Structure 1
Amino acid sequence: MLKAERRNFIMTKLVKEQRVNTIELAEVLGLSEDTIRRDLNKLHVKGLLEKVYGGAIPVSNKEENVFDIVISNEKKKREIGLKALSLLHDGQVIIMSGGTTNLVFSKLIPPLLKATIYTYSLPIAMQLSQYQNIDLIFIGGKMQKNAMVTIGMDVLQVLSKIKADICFMGASSINIKQGLTEVGYEVSIVKKAMLEASDKVVSMFTADKLNSKTPHVVCGIDRLNTIITDLNPDDELLKEYHSAGVIVL
């Protein structure tokens, strides 16, 4: 395992478990404890973690939320974000929609991930601006102030020129018949453009969005590659989505 991959592994484990142990890391990675200590010291110097006796913990003074945004069901959204981490890898071109589920997810992304991320969400862009290895492109346009996302022709023009590996898309509502739907017409148009620009589409939402609908259709279920909820993938509420051929995490 290369040094960068090893340190990325350490940061991902830290995000998931909120603490890492030097001895355990050495055993898992098949390396000496001295090597792990050097890695932890280096990550500490970079301000990515806080070195403590026997291991490391997350940086204690790191902001939890950008702009002090109140996030409902944050624990559930964190569970969703942790599941989504398995879909990330170095070198990806990623599009992220707005919404608090994606905002929580953006806070969980390993700081050493090397990727290009496009977003039209101002809070998510501000969160990702802290990551040195991410090439961040904020898509400008008319600001929808209540959601702090950009909309309009400027956004659509940028999206039409992107070819992304994966899109992480929040949802206002979803059901088997209508598919993914949105409250606002302009946001639904932007999300359609995101779909066209992406090879794979991942929709992330809490279980209360299941089997509901809002006025503006984004896409049918067949256009989604993966859905991620806070439920166990084998939950009865997700049975129809499995049957529709969607990967459920």
Structure 2
Amino acid sequence: MLKAERHKFIMTKLVEEQKVVTTDLALVLDLSEDTIRRDLNELDNKKLLEKVYGGAVLVTEKATDIFNINISDEDEKKKIVTKALSLLHDDQVIIMSGGSTNLVFAKLIPADLKATIYTYSLPIAMQLSQHPNIDLIFIGGKMQKNAMVTIGMDVIQVVSKIKADICFIGASSINIKQGLTEIGYEISIVKKAMIEASDRVVSMFSSDKLDTKMPHVVCDLKQLDTIVTNLNPEDPSLEEYRKSGVFIL
């Protein structure tokens, strides 16, 4: 992988997770930790991230308004999530994971939609709290501050008791052999519980997540009903995913 590609991958992970860990990046990219440290130092020198012990965090300005959350590539993510709006209808019970793509989706949910939505994402809960017809249930637990989501057994116990019609699950990485994978173990466990609790599973993500992998498996492709990307569903890069039986929007 070229240096520019590595830097793009690292910055994409930072946007999604708000931090990266040197050892995890070395494992995923199959590179030495020294190479990853040099990449992080270079990106730090460019003020694109802040290097910390063991990894790096995203450089962001603190929003003065708690509802004003900066989302990278928001216009591109709107193109992705707009495709999935047709999957919504009145009286659904919905579970939503965290992530910036799902946050954009929450912003675009029609004002006249009447549904019940569970989420463990604080930003998504904040967004949906403004919706006039959504019954919002925020799942409490230990807060993972960097991603602003709750994790732990309290979250899993609540999710396991939900009977959801559909869940919208973010994807850090996806490939044919491993399916959905996550960089964090605790988030992967919560997402597994979401899938088990739902009749239909939809994952929305940008095409740069295709054919990548993280250390912790969330689910096989066969457990996904639908994937939604920024690509045309007939794009050649999605051919193997179509063959797996997953529906592509």
Structure 2-normalised TM-score?
A: 0.73
Which of 1 and 2 has greater Rg?
A: 1
2:89 & 2:185 partners in 1: Cα distance? 33
1:76 & 1:180 partners in 2: Cα distance? 21
1:117 aligns with 2:117: yes
Q: Structure 2 unaligned runs (5+)? A: 1-64
Question: Identity over the aligned pairs, expressed in percent?
Answer: 75
| 1:47-106 per-position Cα deviation (integer Å, ceiling 9, x unaligned) | xxxxxxxxxxxxxxxxxx964322222122101110010000001000000000000000
| 1:171-228 per-position Cα deviation (integer Å, ceiling 9, x unaligned) | 0000000100001000000000000000000000000100000000000000000000
1:235 & 1:73 partners in 2: Cα distance? 21
2:121 & 2:150 partners in 1: Cα distance? 7
1:138 aligns with 2:138: yes
2:93 & 2:67 partners in 1: Cα distance? 26
2:235 & 2:74 partners in 1: Cα distance? 21
Q: Which residue of 1 aligns with 2:21?
A: none
1:98 & 1:223 partners in 2: Cα distance? 19
Runs of 4 or more off by more than 2 Å in structure 1?
65-70
Q: Which residue of 1 aligns with 2:87?
A: 87
Q: Which residue of 2 aligns with 1:172?
A: 172
Q: Which residue of 2 aligns with 1:235?
A: 235
Q: How does 1:161-200 map to 2 (within 5 A)?
A: 161-200=161-200
Letter paired with 2:204: M
Q: Structure 1 unaligned runs (5+)? A: 1-64
Contact 1:66 1:127 in 2 (8 A): no
Q: Which residue of 2 aligns with 1:245?
A: 245
Q: Which residue of 2 aligns with 1:24?
A: none
Contact 2:80 2:229 in 1 (8 A): yes
Q: Please tell me the root mean square deviation across aligned C-alpha atoms, in Å.
A: 1.1
2:181 & 2:106 partners in 1: Cα distance? 23
1:206 aligns with 2:220: no
Q: Which residue of 2 aligns with 1:70?
A: 70
| 1:8-41 per-position Cα deviation (integer Å, ceiling 9, x unaligned) | xxxxxxxxxxxxxxxxxxxxxxxxxxxxxxxxxx
Question: In structure 2, do the counterparts of structure 1 residues 66 and 173 end up closer, same or farther at CA, with 3 Å as the change threshold?
Answer: farther
How many residues align? The count is 185
Structure 1-normalised TM-score?
A: 0.73
Question: In structure 2, do the counterparts of structure 1 residues 93 and 66 end up closer, same or farther at CA, with 3 Å as the change threshold?
Answer: farther
